[in-house]
């Protein structure tokens, strides 16, 4: 007959709930830090995972339901065991704010077991040993969170060996001219001090934010370090729903245009700027890191964009208090298609009912406060899981779109292309096409050698400023250039600087004809290089034809970008920017464009 054992512990911490949450809710790290064995996943169907603990003698297997959590106040999980000394275990961790700004952390564990030794073993193993280890870990996380530090320093390990450090210093010499020495020092310290879990999936943007450094500079350093042999680069495919990793590839050519998520049981199309993320880990010659080590596979911190997930029985309601950042959120119910949009703001509703029926959600967007209580109402006849997630993608992900737009990437990894015949979408890319006015006359007037030198010089200037603004040259076609940028403002600044520099080079003056546009594209392999295909490319290629030289032709989509509007308002006088309408070859409707005199 099964017996039930209950354990409940409380600790008062200095850090507020939202500060301690990223550490305490990272159950993968917590389980490692408290001495629990590694686990492996045997099966995963809609988030219900069948797991096994890696133990030499005892076989322990269980089915684990998806975690439930409400940021930053609670998380919990239920496990039902098929092998081992336990029958069932429920864990609930709550984070209650204290008046002084700290947190009262309560850790509750309920265990059911039919094992005859349970009354002798559990009070010692869980009631004394586990309690002591848990408190030690939470106290450590509290100190780190209170100092605004990083969890990578939570567990001091061997770090770089003498040989690994020597190899690092030898390899890093090739980067010195191109990388800020401060960043190199920070990278060496990180590789030495970080624990293995922090080195499994290094995200350059997150690291840059932690260091207070420029994101692009850190990303470019990692690309250079990869070419030097210090780092290994790989490409992770992320589910658009749960944003969990569905695939990992060491080469871009292995990435396909579609993937499948076992957790969500959905097929989806991969996208360069949404769900292909570039990640890094140390090369084994510098520091060996076991990439597949896992101590928990369902941690809330694996989905930091999800601020709440709660199961709710049919025809029941549940009030849920939340702490939100300003912005848009999406609320879904697992047994009903569609969603409802919520916008969190300072003067939104503090309390609101959110009802889902078998017909779906009400169409109106709800305005809620930053500290709302959402009364979830399941008006269907089936149990459902409610999930609230931030609409925006994490801006700490260095996507394939970010990386492949860099000139450094194209220079160092020319062979990193999608496989021939594969077409992968990119939701928005900024393209620039340039051409030279009267280049044929230039050759005739000053001679082939001199003209070629001037043209070559203009290519070098363009490449310099395109790279400086985070873009890259896709290809040259005669005297024309095609370039790509991650953001419209980068393209405008690049060509603005380039034309200014070209004008300083004296007579005969070279005048650029430039077209700038943004929109969706298809990334393809063309002649063994990354190229772009689609209507956005076709439109951009035709825009320079409307320029007389020294003029930028901006598409309406490009011109309406907020950062472009701000730049133009500060740097361009009214008479230099004029709208006009023209017919673009191959398109039926006339286009509204803007002509900007540089």
**Quick one: which of 315, 308, 311 has its CA closest to 357?**
315
> Using 50, 70 and 90 to split pLDDT, how confident is the model at 162?
confident
Mean pLDDT of 427-452: 75
Please give the domain boundaries of the chain with CATH numbers for all domains: 3-149 (3.30.530.20), 162-301 (no CATH), 306-390 (no CATH), 406-597 (3.30.70.1230)
Which tokens hold the place of 397? 């992900």
> Quick one: which of 533, 549, 536, 551 has its CA closest to 596?
551
Contacts for 541 with CB less than 8 Å, ≥ 6 apart? 433, 482, 515
Q: What is the pLDDT of residue 2?
A: 85
pLDDT at 152 over 60: no
pLDDT tens digits, 21-58: 999 999 999 999 999 999 998 888 777 789 999 888 88
Among the listed residues 384, 598, 421, 396, the one whose alpha carbon sits nearest the alpha carbon of residue 494: 598
**Does the global pTM surpass 0.75?**
yes
**Cα–Cα distance between 197 and 205 in angstroms, integer?**
17
Instruction: Give the residue carrying structure tokens 């193993």.
Output: 125
For residue 196, count other CB atoms closer than 10 A to its CB: 18
Distance between CA 145 and CA 140 in Å, rounded? 9
Residue 146 and residue 106: Cα distance in Å, rounded? Answer: 19
- Cα angle: 39, vertex 40, 41; to 5 degrees: 130
**Could you give the CA distance from residue 530 to residue 528 in angstroms, rounded to a whole number?**
7
Q: Residue 260 belongs to what H/E stretch? A: strand 258-261
Report whether 124 contacts 107 (CB < 8 A). no
- When pLDDT is cut at 50, 70 and 90, the band that residue 89 belongs to is very high
Find residue 577's DSSP bridge partners: 596
Q: Which of 489, 488, 501 is nearest to 461 (CA)?
A: 501
- Alpha-carbon gap, residue 378 to 314, rounded angstroms: 6
pLDDT in tens, 494-548: 999 998 888 777 666 677 899 999 999 999 988 888 999 999 999 999 999 999 8
If DSSP codes are grouped into helix, strand and coil, which group holds residue 138?
A: helix
């Amino acid at each position: 007959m099964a017996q039930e054992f209950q354990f409940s512990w409380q600790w008062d911490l200095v850090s507020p709930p939202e500060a301690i949450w990223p550490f305490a809710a990272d159950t993968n790290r917590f389980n490692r830090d408290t001495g629990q064995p590694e686990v492996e996943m045997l099966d995963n169907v809609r988030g219900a995972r069948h797991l096994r603990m890696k133990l030499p003698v005892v076989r322990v297997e269980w089915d684990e339901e998806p975690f439930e959590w409400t940021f930053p106040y609670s998380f919990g999980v239920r496990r039902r065991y098929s092998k081992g000394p336990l029958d069932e275990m429920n864990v609930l961790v709550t984070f209650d704010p204290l008046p002084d700004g700290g947190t009262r952390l309560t850790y509750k564990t309920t265990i059911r077991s039919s094992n005859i030794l349970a009354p002798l073993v559990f009070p010692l193993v869980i009631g004394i040993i586990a309690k002591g280890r848990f408190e030690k870990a939470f106290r450590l996380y509290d100190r780190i969170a209170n100092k605004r530090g990083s969890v990578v320093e939570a567990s001091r390990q061997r770090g770089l060996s003498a040989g690994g450090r020597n190899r690092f210093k030898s390899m890093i010499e090739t980067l010195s001219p191109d990388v800020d020495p401060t960043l190199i020092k920070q990278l060496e310290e990180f590789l030495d001090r970080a624990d293995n879990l922090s080195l499994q999936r290094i995200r350059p943007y997150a690291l840059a934010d932690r260091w207070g450094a420029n994101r692009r500079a850190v990303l470019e350093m990692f690309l250079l370090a990869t070419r030097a042999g210090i780092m290994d680069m790989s490409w992770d495919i992320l589910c658009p729903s749960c944003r969990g990793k569905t695939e990992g590839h060491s080469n871009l050519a292995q990435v396909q245009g579609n993937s499948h998520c076992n957790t969500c049981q959905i097929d989806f199309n991969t996208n360069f700027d949404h769900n292909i993320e570039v990640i890094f880990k140390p090369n084994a010659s510098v520091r060996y890191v076991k990439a597949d080590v896992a101590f928990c596979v369902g941690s809330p911190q694996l989905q930091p964009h999800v601020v709440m997930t709660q199961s709710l029985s049919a025809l029941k309601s549940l009030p849920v208090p939340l702490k939100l950042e300003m912005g848009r959120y999406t609320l879904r119910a697992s047994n009903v298609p569609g969603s409802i949009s919520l916008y969190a703001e300072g003067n939104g509703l503090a309390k609101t009912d959110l009802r889902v029926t078998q017909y779906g959600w009400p169409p109106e967007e709800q305005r809620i406060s930053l500290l709302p209580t959402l009364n979830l109402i399941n008006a269907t006849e089936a149990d459902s899981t409610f999930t609230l997630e931030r609409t925006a993608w994490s801006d700490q992900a260095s996507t394939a779109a970010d990386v492949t737009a860099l000139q450094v990437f194209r220079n160092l990894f020319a062979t990193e292309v999608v496989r021939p015949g594969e077409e992968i979408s990119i939701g928005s890319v900024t393209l620039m096409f340039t051409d030279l006015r009267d280049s044929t006359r230039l050759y005739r007037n000053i001679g082939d050698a001199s003209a070629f030198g001037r043209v070559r010089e203009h290519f070098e200037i363009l490449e310099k400023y395109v790279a400086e603004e985070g873009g890259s040259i896709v290809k040259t076609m005669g005297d024309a250039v095609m370039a790509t940028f991650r953001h419209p403002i980068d393209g405008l600044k690049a060509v603005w600087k380039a034309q200014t520099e070209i004008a300083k080079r004296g007579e005969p003056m070279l005048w650029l004809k430039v077209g700038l546009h943004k929109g969706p594209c298809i990334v393809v392999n063309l002649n063994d290089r990354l190229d772009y295909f689609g209507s956005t490319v076709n439109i951009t290629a035709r825009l320079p034809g409307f320029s007389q030289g020294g003029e930028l032709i901006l598409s309406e989509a490009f011109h309406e970008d907020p950062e472009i509007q701000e730049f133009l308002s500060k740097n361009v006088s009214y008479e230099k920017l004029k709208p006009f309408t023209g017919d673009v070859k191959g398109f039926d409707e006339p286009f509204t464009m803007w002509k900007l005199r540089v």
